[in-house]
């Protein structure tokens, strides 16, 4: 049974009074002829005539009320904006006090009347009749600023608590217009990415989220169970292996935008489910993917913000191609003073790091690739503020990427870095089934200490590859992270409508 607080009890009482007056507080249908924006625009146009006559029926939520005995004002807010209502006893008679007494902030109403301009100059609907559309029982968080006696203005942010804002995103959206704007822009971002790929002849596809075997990344999966099949299933950790199966099927350019699930830590840049974009491009290599990537992201930035240059915290980020290209060996050499090409084994590399940076050493049991990744994260990554393609990665941490001809330790892979963190990951895809099988086996050996993290060997994927897979370039990007950068939000929770939270109570 719901327990109501004192404010809610008062509103429930009003709800009963409304019913007693014969007013249905939740009528089935609403009517409107104009949005707030349309009504104002139409009125401003009509004002050029001597006698503007714009009749309108508006619908929206009451956001402020200034009630009086014989005249009241209110603002309602709809999807397009806010508009003021003017209610006068002359037209409404006893309905005015009915409005003053029984209507509350947060109620949805429908109001009909004629547009006019108040003495203070605001385009306003002179209300001839109104109707309740939905009673609000729980008050929305108050939003108002107050000037104190000493003259200082205290802004009472309507809803500021990050936990409440995330848990009750509906209330956050209802009272914080800038939050609505953030999510409109996020939608625009996804639209722009989709439009860009569509225009480049990529086919949008949907592959299984619920999979008998997970793969395509090194991450712990969520596990579930299908009752009728009596079989464990996994929520996907990447789209990669399914999308590449489609290349075997002669679909030359495919992409998917959807949700990945990784059963790992939560942080300002990690949510257990996140939106991923992956595409695979037959007959292309990672250099061509690089070019397409910088074009795509620049296009998206422009569509979302109107410019290829955006502000992220203290940084001005310029997305206009071409982006900086930095070979990983060179980047790590400059950032840490260690040349990974000279250290061809894990043992040698560990010694070199320990000699140079005794306070910053990786796990001595790590593979060479993991140590290189450590150097990258520790020394190089924080310095990559402007969009940068870091390319040529160690083979042993890239089991799905193709080796550089003549270099057994390195693969054709790049990651895009912006504002000091990883945005995307791409490579010339491995299409040799025998090499791929070998890599799976190697991964299994490297990860034996941690069962959940090892790359499971996907027999069906190898079978698909044996039919023949065209050479291709593949790409993956965290859409939430791009949204963070474009919208200048420093936590992934700010760009997710409903971020993962522990359950209440």
DSSP state of 55: E
Is 100 in a helix, a strand, or coil? helix
Distance of closest approach, residue 455 Cβ to RNA, in angstroms: 7
Distance of closest approach, residue 450 Cβ to RNA, in angstroms: 7
| Distance of alpha carbon 387 from alpha carbon 174, whole angstroms | 35
Closest CA to 327 of 422, 406, 410, 397: 410
Q: Phi then psi for 434, rounded to 5 degrees? A: -75, -40
Instruction: Between 174 and 192, name the residue whose CB sits nearer to RNA.
Output: 174
Instruction: Between 175 and 296, name the residue whose CB sits nearer to RNA.
Output: 175
Instruction: Between 35 and 398, name the residue whose CB sits nearer to RNA.
Output: 398
Distance of closest approach, residue 198 Cβ to RNA, in angstroms: 26
Closest CA to 427 of 473, 394, 476: 473
Distance of closest approach, residue 401 Cβ to RNA, in angstroms: 8
DSSP state of 1: -
Distance of closest approach, residue 312 Cβ to RNA, in angstroms: 15
Closest CA to 346 of 329, 363, 377, 371: 371
Q: Which residues of 64-93 are buried (b: 16+ CB within 10 A; e: fewer)?
A: ebeeeeeebbbbbbbeeebbbbbbbeeebe
Distance of closest approach, residue 342 Cβ to RNA, in angstroms: 23
Instruction: Between 48 and 144, name the residue whose CB sits nearer to RNA.
Output: 144
Assess contact for 446 and 363: CB atoms under 8 A. Answer: no
| Distance of alpha carbon 225 from alpha carbon 210, whole angstroms | 10
| Cα dihedral across residues 375, 381, 384, 390: positive or negative | positive
Residues 243, 244, 250: CA angle, nearest 5 degrees: 100
Instruction: Between 69 and 405, name the residue whose CB sits nearer to RNA.
Output: 69
| Distance of alpha carbon 189 from alpha carbon 186, whole angstroms | 5
Q: 147, exposed or middle or buried, with CB in 10 Å at 0-12, 13-18, 19+?
A: exposed
Assess contact for 387 and 319: CB atoms under 8 A. Answer: yes
Is 50 in a helix, a strand, or coil? coil
Closest CA to 100 of 69, 125, 77: 69
Distance of closest approach, residue 390 Cβ to RNA, in angstroms: 11
Q: What's the maximum distance between 2 C-alpha atoms anywhere in the chain?
A: 91
Closest CA to 21 of 113, 131, 116: 131
Instruction: Between 59 and 496, name the residue whose CB sits nearer to RNA.
Output: 496
Distance of closest approach, residue 461 Cβ to RNA, in angstroms: 13
| Distance of alpha carbon 426 from alpha carbon 439, whole angstroms | 18
Distance of closest approach, residue 402 Cβ to RNA, in angstroms: 13
Q: Phi then psi for 164, rounded to 5 degrees? A: -60, -40
Distance of closest approach, residue 338 Cβ to RNA, in angstroms: 18
Q: 496, exposed or middle or buried, with CB in 10 Å at 0-12, 13-18, 19+?
A: buried
Assess contact for 427 and 472: CB atoms under 8 A. Answer: no
Distance of closest approach, residue 210 Cβ to RNA, in angstroms: 21
Instruction: Between 26 and 268, name the residue whose CB sits nearer to RNA.
Output: 268
Distance of closest approach, residue 480 Cβ to RNA, in angstroms: 13
DSSP state of 216: S
Assess contact for 474 and 244: CB atoms under 8 A. Answer: yes
Instruction: Between 203 and 462, name the residue whose CB sits nearer to RNA.
Output: 462
Instruction: Between 320 and 421, name the residue whose CB sits nearer to RNA.
Output: 421
Instruction: Between 71 and 203, name the residue whose CB sits nearer to RNA.
Output: 71
Instruction: Between 302 and 437, name the residue whose CB sits nearer to RNA.
Output: 437
Instruction: Between 445 and 503, name the residue whose CB sits nearer to RNA.
Output: 503
Instruction: Between 398 and 431, name the residue whose CB sits nearer to RNA.
Output: 398
| Distance of alpha carbon 175 from alpha carbon 157, whole angstroms | 10
| Distance of alpha carbon 56 from alpha carbon 181, whole angstroms | 26
Is 483 in a helix, a strand, or coil? helix
| Distance of alpha carbon 386 from alpha carbon 397, whole angstroms | 25
């Amino acid at each position: 049974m719901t327990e109501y607080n004192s404010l809610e009890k008062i509103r429930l009482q009003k709800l009963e009074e409304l019913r007693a007056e014969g007013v249905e507080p939740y009528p089935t249908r609403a009517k409107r002829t104009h949005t707030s924006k349309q009504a104002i625009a139409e009125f401003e146009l009509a004002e050029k005539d001597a006698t503007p006559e714009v009749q309108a029926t508006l619908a929206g939520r009451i956001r402020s009320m200034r009630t009086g005995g014989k005249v009241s004002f209110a603002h309602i807010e709809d999807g397009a904006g806010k508009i003021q209502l003017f209610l006068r006893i002359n037209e409404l008679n006893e309905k005015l006090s009915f409005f003053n007494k029984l209507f509350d902030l947060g109620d949805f109403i429908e109001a009909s009347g004629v547009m006019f301009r108040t003495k203070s100059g605001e385009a306003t609907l002179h209300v001839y009749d109104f109707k309740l559309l939905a009673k609000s029982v729980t008050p929305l968080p108050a939003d108002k600023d107050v000037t104190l006696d000493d003259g200082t203005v205290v802004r009472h942010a309507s809803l500021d608590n990050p936990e409440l804002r995330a848990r009750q995103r509906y209330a956050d959206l209802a009272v914080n217009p800038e939050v609505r704007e953030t999510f409109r822009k996020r939608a625009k971002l996804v639209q722009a990415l989709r439009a860009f790929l569509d225009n480049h002849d990529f086919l949008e596809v949907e592959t299984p989220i619920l999979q008998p075997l997970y793969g395509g990344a090194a991450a712990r999966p969520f596990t579930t169970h299908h009752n009728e099949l009596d079989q464990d299933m996994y929520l996907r950790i990447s789209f990669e292996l399914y999308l590449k199966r489609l290349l075997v099927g002669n679909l030359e350019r495919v992409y998917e935008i959807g949700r990945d699930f990784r059963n790992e830590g939560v942080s300002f840049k990690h949510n257990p489910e996140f939106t991923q974009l992956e595409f695979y491009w037959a007959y292309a290599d990672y250099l061509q993917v690089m070019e397409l990537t910088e074009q795509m992201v620049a296009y998206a930035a422009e569509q979302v913000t109107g410019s290829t240059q955006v502000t992220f915290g203290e940084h001005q980020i310029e997305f206009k191609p071409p982006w900086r290209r930095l070979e990983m060996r060179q980047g790590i050499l400059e950032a840490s003073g260690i040349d990974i090409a000279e250290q061809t084994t894990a043992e040698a590399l560990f010694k070199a790091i320990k000699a140079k940076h005794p306070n910053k050493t990786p796990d001595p049991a790590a593979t060479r690739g993991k140590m290189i990744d450590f150097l990258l994260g520790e020394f190089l990554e924080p310095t990559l503020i402007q969009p940068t393609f870091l390319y040529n990665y160690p083979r042993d941490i890239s089991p799905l990427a193709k080796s550089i001809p003549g270099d057994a330790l390195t693969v054709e892979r790049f990651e895009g870095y912006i504002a000091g963190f990883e945005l995307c990951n791409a490579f010339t895809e491995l299409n040799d089934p025998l090499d791929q099988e070998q890599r799976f086996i190697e991964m299994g050996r490297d990860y034996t200490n941690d069962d959940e993290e090892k790359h499971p060997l996907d027999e069906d994927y190898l079978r698909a590859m044996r039919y023949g897979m065209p050479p291709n370039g593949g790409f993956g990007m965290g859409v939430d992270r791009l949204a963070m950068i474009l919208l200048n939000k420093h936590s992934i929770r700010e760009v997710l409508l409903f971020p993962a939270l522990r359950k209440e109570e």
